[in-house]
Amino acid sequence: MYTKEAILNEIKRTAKENGGKPLGEKKLLDETGIRSWDWGRYWPKYAEAVIEAGFTPNLPWTKYPEGVLEEKMVPVIRKLGRYPTINEMRIEQIRNRDFPYNAIKKRRRDFIRDLVRYCEKKPGHGDILEICQPFLEKLDEKEKDDLTNNSGSSVGQVYLFKQGKYYKLGSSKDPVRRGKEIRIESPEPLRLIHSFKTDDPKGVEAYWHKRFENKRRKETEYFSLNSQDIKAFKRWKKLC
């Protein structure tokens, strides 16, 4: 169990190693193992712990001035010649600490829409617009399909894919369609291990995420599972 002083010391230590900038809540967990229920015994919000440690909390994406995030994405798209995957954005952040990966990730589809609108008004950004517009149209089409599929029914499926050496666990109305989306986000081979129907897909997904929490890969829905974990997941349908 972490004491209040130990948590503050870890915030200070990791901030020093991060160029004087305090880590976010999830990054601190990755680096130190300090979880929300550890610091939650002393502060109602993680930002308050950061302040007590002597730092200014990281600003949320809404505090970025208009156009800043969009301009930081432009050179990445030009370098790749296409819109980057989540993994490619994460790698870009490792190479360039000024790249706002977390802020862009939180906005996801909204960010792409904002980027298209931004490039429509910005001279010299026609190449970015040419890349992003078709990508956004595909996402919008998928959103329409999802609305159609979701109407009148709450039944969904919880799935387990294997991609590389990790397993992705989530829920969807259509695991096959979801698999195609994942392949767009990451080029690694993908294989469906198991899926089952349930009238509470989000609730069941949350159960398995919590059960495998200590095997989660950082801020993702990817887990490092063993054969016993997979057998337990496959038995779920039989137990319902």
Domain ranges of the chain: 4-52, 61-149, 156-239
Q: How many CB atoms lie within 10 A of CB 99?
A: 20
Helix (H, G, I), strand (E, B) or coil at 56: coil
**Tell me, what's the pLDDT at 71?**
92
**Tell me, what's the pLDDT at 64?**
67
Euclidean distance between CA atoms 204 and 193, whole angstroms:
17
In sequence order, what E strands does the chain have? 156-163, 166-172, 190-198, 222-223
- Angle at which helices 109-121 and 68-80 cross, to 10°: 90
Instruction: Tell me if 40 sits within 8 A of 52, measured CB to CB.
Output: no
Mean pLDDT by 10 residues, the chain (240 residues): 90 91 86 84 83 75 71 94 90 87 79 87 91 81 58 74 91 85 78 89 87 83 90 71
CA distances from 237 to 194, 227, 228, 233 (A): 10, 17, 16, 8
**Tell me, what's the pLDDT at 45?**
77
CA distances from 179 to 99, 153, 157, 190, 194 (A): 28, 21, 13, 7, 12
Walk across the sheet containing 222-223 and list its strands.
190-198, 156-163, 166-172, 222-223
Sign of the four-CA dihedral 106, 216, 19, 78: negative
**Tell me, what's the pLDDT at 229?**
92
